[in-house]
């Protein structure tokens, strides 16, 4: 009876989680398949547990039930979609494109899109961070494409990938400069939800990180403007909520 009640309340919570009771679902759509499979596994585990409750296999069925419940709980947590709203109305604010920790802030050359010096902000998205990517500024998505890269090995960041991809998503905003939220270090390509020519709002969802892989999201900001304050290494950020800095053109 206790197991039946546990299953009932678990399914009730799951349905409420997916049904659009709030302005939008509470889990991201990239996780629907895995969450569905985890739910099916839990249903089978409950059935087996009730069927085998008076047999010597009961400990095995209990272990399967606990494992399936833990799997579903992890999937719901991993693919969670909490509300993220910009905290300011200044159009020059630059918001974090991903949730995680800032691991580097440096000046680099970016010849493909910006065509010169740029400030590159690198954010590591961890296993327990929200996996969504968001637009750091308002503007228009110019285009995106995928490049194959050699494996990335970085002991300081704690992961090694053997087969990596680089997804470039280029923005054009009021100053005509390009912003490149660039997921790196994923064995499978991150999901992109937007197409070329799409107008983007600040903090709009543009994609999701690959499942279960270390991801670095890099944001390039053209050097012909000033970003103040400059983000600090180790700073924890939330996509679409944390202001990385304010962009001011040098000619203003």
28/20 Cα distance (integer angstroms):
12
For 95-114, write each residue's pLDDT tens digit: 998 899 998 898 988 877 77
Q: Which pTM was predicted?
A: 0.78
Q: Is 41 domain-assigned?
A: yes
**Cβ pair 111, 86 in contact under 8 A:** no
Are 74 and 98 within one domain? no
Query: Given this model, what pLDDT does residue 178 score?
Result: 58
DSSP strand E in the chain: where? 93-95, 100-110, 116-125, 132-134, 139-150, 153-154, 159-160, 163-172, 182-184, 191-192, 199-200, 205-208, 215-222, 225-228, 236-237, 243-249
Give the SS3 label for residue 147.
strand
Q: Is 86 domain-assigned?
A: no
The token pair at 171 is: 């923005």
184/125 Cα distance (integer angstroms):
10
Number of domains in the chain: 2
Q: Which residue, of 78, 112, 133, is where some domain finishes?
A: 78
Domain that holds residue 212: 93-249
201/134 Cα distance (integer angstroms):
9
Query: Given this model, what pLDDT does residue 177 score?
Result: 59
Q: Which residue, of 20, 52, 78, is where some domain finishes?
A: 78
Torsion of CA 151, 154, 159, 161, to 10 degrees: 0
Are 123 and 172 within one domain? yes
Of 212, 208, 209, nearest in space to 74 by CA? 212
Query: Given this model, what pLDDT does residue 175 score?
Result: 67
Query: For the purposes of burial, counting CB atoms within 10 Å of the CB of 117, is it exposed (0-12), middle (13-18) or buried (19 or more)?
Result: middle
CATH number, residue 143: 2.70.70.10
For 5-30, write each residue's pLDDT tens digit: 656 556 665 555 555 444 555 888 88
Of 248, 252, 247, 251, nearest in space to 95 by CA? 247
Query: Given this model, what pLDDT does residue 100 score?
Result: 92
**Cβ pair 118, 68 in contact under 8 A:** no
50/47 Cα distance (integer angstroms):
5
Q: Which residue, of 17, 46, 78, is where some domain finishes?
A: 78
Say if residue 229's pLDDT is above 60.
yes
Are 97 and 74 within one domain? no
Are 209 and 166 within one domain? yes
Q: Is 220 domain-assigned?
A: yes
Q: Is 208 domain-assigned?
A: yes
Are 109 and 192 within one domain? yes
> Measured between alpha carbons, how far is residue 25 from residues 5, 15, 150 in Å?
25, 11, 37
49/213 Cα distance (integer angstroms):
33
Q: Is 189 domain-assigned?
A: yes
């Amino acid at each position: 009876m206790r197991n039946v009640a546990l299953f009932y309340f678990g399914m009730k919570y799951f349905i409420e989680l997916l049904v659009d009771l709030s302005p939008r679902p509470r889990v991201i759509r990239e996780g629907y398949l895995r969450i569905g499979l985890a739910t099916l596994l839990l249903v089978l585990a409950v059935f087996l547990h009730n069927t085998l409750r008076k047999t010597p296999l009961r400990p095995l069925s209990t272990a399967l039930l606990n494992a399936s419940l833990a799997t579903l709980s992890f999937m719901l947590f991993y693919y969670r979609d909490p509300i993220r709203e910009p905290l300011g109305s200044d159009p020059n604010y630059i918001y974090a494109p991903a949730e995680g920790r800032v691991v580097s802030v440096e000046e680099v050359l970016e010849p493909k899109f910006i065509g010169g010096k740029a400030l590159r902000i690198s954010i590591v998205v961890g296993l327990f961070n929200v996996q969504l990517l968001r637009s750091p500024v308002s503007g228009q998505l110019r285009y995106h494409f995928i490049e194959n890269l050699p494996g990335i090995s970085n002991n300081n960041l704690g992961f090694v990938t053997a087969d990596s991809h680089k997804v470039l998503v280029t923005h054009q905003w009021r100053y005509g400069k390009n912003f490149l939220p660039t997921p790196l270090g994923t064995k499978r390509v991150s999901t992109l939800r937007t197409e070329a020519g799409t107008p983007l709002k600040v903090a709009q969802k543009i994609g999701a990180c690959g499942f279960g892989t270390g991801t670095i999201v890099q944001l390039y900001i053209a050097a012909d403007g000033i970003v103040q304050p400059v983000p600090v290494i180790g700073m924890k950020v939330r996509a679409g909520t944390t202001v990385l800095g304010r962009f001011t053109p040098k000619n203003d």
